[in-house]
């Protein structure tokens, strides 16, 4: 495997964090990278953030421009966790999470007929139907074999305070799927909520879900947990009902997994952190002075059927850094572009989430 470094989007003055992005090929042949660009002094998940975009022509990157800002005069405070897609009618689309003051969020889609020169009005994909906090990771929007669009989401229930606003969010999330049968014009909750069996023994529940479409059309769902590995479940009816979650082959800390199918080869690519965070992990090693969540090394593996993956190959293994929230963009049968958070003590970052790295990989 050959890895070539393309770009680090590093934090800087009034830009304390760059994280969680996605790619899309534009009609002019360039590749767009869209990500969460924080502005101000705080890199906290709930701090002020905008959606920015750069393009790559195969040799160099453009200057960034802002696609989306929190709506002025509203309680919107943060736009983050980007996905991008080429819709069935040819429009480009950007998906992102909108956070509000207090503890609430919703998921938004914006179409563009001219590859992000302009954006149409927001369409709500996941709305706060129940009190709580909703999470959808970056690079998560999927199209099934029939052309239906699917979004895997997590719901963290909340309790309401005396002022009528959420005042506590349960860290244990429930997973569900939203779908669109009209090419993203309208969306609905497709599945019921799915919980982790024995969830009282977990602090995470089923967090940050993802899904992939297996060769025969079965949907494969995967979920971050704090139990030393990701959990998995299956749907044979297009995402309406799901099997009970069970431990998957993917060991991990509480860090996201991404599985994507290569349209050029038909193979499936997984990107994740395979080393669980245990009380014994740092014995005999220097523990990072910054928060990394144990998210190293970052590895990738291939599968022909989307279920049985080969031996992991290391992308990053800096023990003082953390590598997470990947996005994948395939460029050929054996090549892809990969982005991920890559903050490290070595580069003076305050935590692993503040820096995004883009590399090209040839297998």
Q: Of all residues in the chain, what percent carry a pLDDT higher than 70?
A: 97
Predicted confidence at residue 340, as pLDDT, reads 98
Q: What is the pLDDT of residue 283?
A: 86
Q: Return d(Cα 189, Cα 191) in angstroms, integer.
A: 6
Q: What is the mean pLDDT of residues 255-281?
A: 95
Does 163 score more than 60 pLDDT?
Answer: no
Residue 135: inside a domain, yes or no? no
Residue 217 in any domain: the answer is no
What is the 3-state composition of the chain as percent helix, strand, coil, each rounded to the nearest 5? 0, 50, 50
pLDDT band at 336 (very low <50, low <70, confident <90, very high): very high
pLDDT tens readout for residues 121-133: 999 998 767 778 8
State yes or no: pLDDT of 102 exceeds 90. Answer: no
Better-predicted residue by pLDDT, 280 or 96 = 96
Mean pLDDT of 261-278: 96
- Pairing, β 142-143 against β 132-135: unpaired
- For residue 151, is it within any domain? no
In CATH, what number is assigned to the domain containing residue 113?
Answer: 2.115.10.20
Structural domain total, the chain: 1
CB 71 within 8 Å of CB 126 = no
How far is it, in rounded angstroms, from Cα 140 to Cα 149? 11
pLDDT over 70 (residue 41)? yes
Strand partners of residue 359: 5, 338
Q: Which domain holds residue 107?
A: 11-119
Q: What is the pLDDT of residue 278?
A: 85
User: Per-residue pLDDT tens for 185-218?
Assistant: 999 999 999 999 987 789 999 999 999 999 999 9
Whole-model pTM: value is: 0.96
Asked if residue 255 is part of any domain, the answer here is no
Instruction: For residue 150, tell me if it sits in a domain.
Output: no
Given a cut of 60, whether residue 164 has pLDDT beyond it is no
Give the mean pLDDT of the chain.
Answer: 94
Domain-located, residue 124: no
Does residue 289 lie in a domain region? Answer: no
């Amino acid at each position: 495997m050959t890895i070539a470094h393309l770009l680090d989007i590093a934090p800087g003055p009034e830009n304390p964090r760059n994280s969680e992005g996605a790619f899309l090929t534009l009609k002019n042949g360039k590749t767009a990278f869209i990500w969460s660009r924080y502005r101000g002094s705080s890199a906290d998940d709930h701090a002020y953030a905008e959606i920015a975009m750069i393009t790559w022509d195969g040799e160099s990157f453009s200057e960034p421009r802002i696609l989306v800002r929190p709506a002025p005069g509203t309680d919107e405070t943060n736009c983050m966790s980007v996905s991008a897609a080429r819709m069935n009618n040819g429009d480009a689309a950007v998906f992102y999470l909108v956070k509000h003051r207090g503890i609430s969020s919703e998921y938004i889609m914006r179409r563009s007929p001219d590859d992000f020169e302009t954006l149409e009005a927001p369409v709500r994909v996941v709305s706060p139907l129940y009190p709580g906090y909703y999470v959808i990771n970056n690079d998560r929007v999927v199209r099934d074999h029939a052309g239906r669009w699917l979004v895997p989401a997590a719901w963290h229930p909340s309790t309401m305070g005396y002022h009528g606003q959420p005042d506590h969010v349960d860290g244990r999330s429930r997973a569900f799927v939203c779908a669109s049968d009209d090419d993203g014009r309208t969306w609905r909750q497709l599945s019921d909520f799915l919980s982790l069996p024995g969830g009282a023994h977990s602090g995470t529940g089923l967090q940050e879900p993802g899904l992939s479409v297996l060769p025969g059309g079965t949907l494969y769902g995967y979920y971050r947990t704090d139990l030393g590995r990701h959990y998995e479940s299956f749907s044979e009816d297009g995402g309406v009902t799901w099997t009970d979650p069970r431990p998957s082959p993917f060991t991990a800390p509480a860090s996201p997994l991404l599985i994507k199918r290569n349209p050029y080869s038909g193979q499936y690519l997984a990107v994740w952190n395979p080393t669980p965070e245990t009380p014994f992990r740092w014995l005999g090693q220097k523990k990072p002075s910054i928060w990394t969540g144990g998210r190293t090394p970052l590895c990738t593996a291939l599968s022909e059927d989307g279920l049985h993956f080969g031996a992991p190959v290391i992308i990053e293994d800096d023990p003082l850094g953390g590598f997470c929230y990947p996005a994948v963009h395939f460029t050929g049968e054996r090549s892809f572009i990969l982005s991920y958070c890559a903050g490290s003590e070595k580069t003076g970052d305050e935590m692993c989430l503040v820096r995004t790295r883009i590399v090209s990989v040839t297998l």
